[in-house]
Every structure is written in C-alpha cells, then in structure tokens.
Amino acid sequence: MLIISDEDIEKHVSMREAIDIVEKAFREYAKGFVKMPPRSTIMLERFGGSLSLMPSYLEESGALATKIISIYPKNRKRGYPTTAAWIVVNDPETGVMEALMDATYLTALRTGAVTGVASRCLAPRSPKIAAVVGCGVQGRMQAWAMAEVFNLEKINAFDISRERIECFARELEGTLGIDIHISENCEEAVENADIIATATTSKTPVVRRNWLSKDVHINAIGSFYPDHRELDSEIIKDAKVVVDSREAVLDEAGDLLIPIREGKITRDHIYAELGEILLGIKKGRTNGDKLTVFKSVGLAIQDSSVAKMVIDKMRKR
C-alpha cells in the first residue's frame, strides 16, 4: 500500500495534467460510466465545521476512491487549514486498499483544474484580465488554472484580509509571470475583468450584477452550503448557468437555491452540466452570450481521477 503526502502530489502532478484528467472524468460522467452517490455531510454546529464523505468509481478509468474532507472556516484563526482532506484508494477488482493519501493539496488542485476546464468552454475569446475573489490556497489554484489555459495580462485580486492579498501577489507574480493588481475592494477587482473566480466561504454575495463588464465569465467554486452564496440573484438570473452536477447543486448550492426560493429563477434555469458541453450535447459560449456562470460544488470524480493518476505516476517512478 502506498502512503502519499501532499508534498508528493505537489511535486509530481502539474496543473495541466490535472486539467486534462478532470476533463476526462467529466466526459466519463456525462456518458454514464460513473458510480457516485451524493456527498454525505455531517454538520458540526458546535464547532462551526463539517465533515463530508465522497466516494466514486469511474468505470472506464478504473478509479475507485473515497475522500474524507473537513471544512472549518474558523480554523484560519486557530492556525490550521480551513479545508483538510484524505483519500482512500481501492483496487476496483479486489476492494483492497491501494493507497492512503493526503488530499488537502489534491482538493485544491482538482478544484482549480475544473475551473480550467469550464473556462475553456465558457470564457470570452482571448480573455486578458482575470479577477480572483478570495486569495487563500484555493484562490491561488484558481489563478494558476486560468493562467494555464489563457494568455492573461493581469489578475486583479481581492480578499477581506490584506495580508492574504499581499501574500497572493508575492507568490504568483513570480511563479506565473503575470501582473497581480491588489484591489481595494471587490467591485474594483471584478469591474473590468473578462473572467472571474470566486473562492470564498461567504454566506452573502461578494459579487453583484451591476459591477460586471458586458462580456464576462464567472467560476463560482467557494460555497457549497444551501444557505451560502457568492453571487447575487441578479447575476444568476441573467446568466447562462452551467454546473458540475444538477443533482449536487440543487441539493447544496445556495447560489442557485436562494434565487429559486426567491422566485427569481426555476430549476430549469440551469442550461447544462459541464460534461454535456464537453461531449457536444450542449454548446458552450456562443456569440450571443454575455454573462456565463459555472457553479461547482465539487464532485468525487475529480478526486478519484486525480488520485488514480497520482498512483500511476508514483508507481512508474
């Protein structure tokens, strides 16, 4: 059995590889070759956190894994990661455990990767300015993914913590070779952006419709609780909305559930799942599209597919 650390994964798996393997997983999902029960979550109100169990099996890829992930927003003040995760990988033929791996870095990587996949389908042509709202670990991955798939000239960054924004700018200007602009507020960060990524744990909207430029794509990946959202209802109402999974977002995503409860949209407002676009069942961005939104709550297939790739690479080495 392999014991694999976050450091092993960071050393051996690139964002480009993660984007490609996650795209393959979503194609497989859209073709119906995936077994993935809904995420099971225990809310621990006493401690302000949650623990989720995320199993999945990709039949074509032969990837069988289960992720345990904890999300504790108050951990930032305690000096611990807000999100921590672990993955058990099993041999689908025998059920024997093949690997136990840290998955905190993997979770951030695969979440950035799905933004890369969705952005290729939905962003305006040749975007030059990106915005990242929420400059923690996941914000860095969002920036990395967008820079991987587009020739960006500038990334506007905003976070409620000035320290996190400055750390974000120092780290990414060197690694990505892109100008990082520290924005004074969220409106300044997004107002001229061609593509936006929100990576916060906010309960209330951090981006509003009247702040946005005419043609823009938003990747909303931060919140996945029914009472949390990052985008206001007007954004969702006006947008072509693509999701990772209809079932998952209609169970967990406040960005859609709250506008539905308000009567601003219905469940039919969801245009497509990402896999449907990848298979050509539905079109991505077209000439008439102005505002597009990709809403992701995170699927277990992202974890299982990347975990399988990690094991294959480690064994070859």
Catalytic residue numbers read: 67
Using CA atoms, how far apart are residues 305 and 97, in angstroms rounded to an integer? 16
Give the closest residue to 39 by CA, choosing from 51, 25, 24, 23: 51
C-alpha angle 50-21-313 in degrees, rounded to nearest 5: 95
Residue 59, number of CB atoms within 10 A of its CB: 14
Give ∠ CA 274-216-232 in degrees, rounded to 5. 85
Q: Is 32 exposed, middle or buried (0-12, 13-18, 19+ CB in 10 A)?
A: exposed
Strands (E), 199-288: 216-220, 240-243, 270-273
Packing angle of the helix pair 300-316, 15-30 (nearest 10 deg) = 130
Q: Which one-letter DSSP state was computed for residue 248?
A: H
Pairing of strands 49-58, 40-44: antiparallel
Q: Provide the 8-state DSSP code for 230.
A: S
Distance CA 122, CA 102 (A): 32
Residue 285, C-beta contacts closer than 8 angstroms, at least 6 positions apart: 121, 122, 123, 124, 217, 240, 292
CB atoms inside a 10 Å sphere around CB 312: 12
CB distance 138 to 108 below 8 Å: yes
H/E run at residue 43:
strand 40-44
